[in-house]
Amino acid sequence: MATNTIRRPAPARTRKDSADLTAALDAIRRIVQSLRVSARAAERRLGVSGAQLFVLHALAEAPAHSLNELAARTFTHQSSVSVVVDRLVRRRLVSRTRSAEDGRRVVLALTPSGRSLLRSSPEVAQIRLIGALRNLSGSECRVLARHLGRIVREMGVTDAPALFFEDAMQQPIRASNTRRRSTAPTH
């Protein structure tokens, strides 16, 4: 006999519990919406994903002397940032050259095209989110990380974390392409 493994939400016990749950969900919704709107603006205006724009901003601060360094600066895993960098190199927005000091290492830097693209870029929500998290005390950030980790486990989410919204965008939208693909209203 099969058992149902889908977790059902527990019924609200009090009005306060319900209000706290609503407040938590509303905060999550606002964060996700801000990230989504920022990513869409980057895709529409520049033809790059929000994650790609975030990496470009990280490289605008200074070249990265390895993928691991760039992953640390973007607070993600090396394999995730590697996929984004590959796309940016193909678009000639980022250069990948051998280090003069150590030929086994690569240096990642913005190209002139990458710098030009950044001059007209919209605001990046990931940068605002990181700034807000940095404004938390160390203990507040640890508690938040612990609680979010528990929520992820309770949801059964097992996917490796990627840069925000990078997995959803397989082919970048061309900034010059203004034709809509569908005339159906969006909600």
Is there a domain that residue 154 lies in?
Answer: no
What gap in Å lies between CA 23 and CA 21, rounded to an integer?
5
Cβ neighbours of residue 8 closer than 8 Å, sequence gap 6 or more: none
Q: Is 95 left (phi over 0), alpha (psi -120 to 50) or beta?
A: beta
Asked if the structure places residue 97 within a domain, the reply is yes
Q: How many domains are there within the chain?
A: 1
What pLDDT, on the 0 to 100 scale, is given for residue 68? 93
Look at residue 18 and tell me if it is in a domain. Answer: no
pLDDT attached to residue 166: 65
User: What pLDDT sits at residue 172?
Assistant: 42
Residue 66 within a domain: yes
Q: Which residue has the tokens 């920022």?
A: 38
Is residue 115 in a domain? yes
Q: What is the CATH number of the domain that holds 78?
A: 1.10.10.10
Q: Which long-range contacts (CB under 8 A, 24 or more apart) does 106-112 make?
A: 106/66, 106/67, 107/63, 107/64, 107/65, 108/59, 108/63, 108/64, 108/67, 108/70, 109/59, 109/63, 109/64, 110/56, 110/59, 110/60, 110/63
Q: Which residue has the tokens 């290492």?
A: 105
Using CA atoms of 60, 130, 162, 177 in order, give the dihedral in degrees to the nearest 10: -60
- The pLDDT value recorded for residue 183 is 40
Give residue 22's Cα distance to chain centre: 25
CB atoms within 10 A of CB 159: 7
88 in Cβ contact with 82 (< 8 Å): no
User: Is 57 among the domain residues?
Assistant: yes
Domain that holds residue 104: 30-122
Per-residue model confidence (pLDDT) at position 16: 65
Copy the structure tokens of residue 97: 């050259």
pLDDT tens for each residue of the chain, 187 residues long: 443 445 666 654 666 678 889 999 999 999 999 999 999 999 999 999 999 999 999 999 999 999 999 999 999 989 889 999 999 999 999 999 988 888 788 899 999 999 999 999 988 999 999 999 999 999 999 999 999 999 989 998 877 666 666 654 444 434 444 333 334 444 3
Asked if residue 34 is part of any domain, the answer here is yes
Q: Is residue 3, in this structure, part of any structural domain at all?
A: no
Question: In the prediction, which pLDDT does 102 show?
Answer: 81
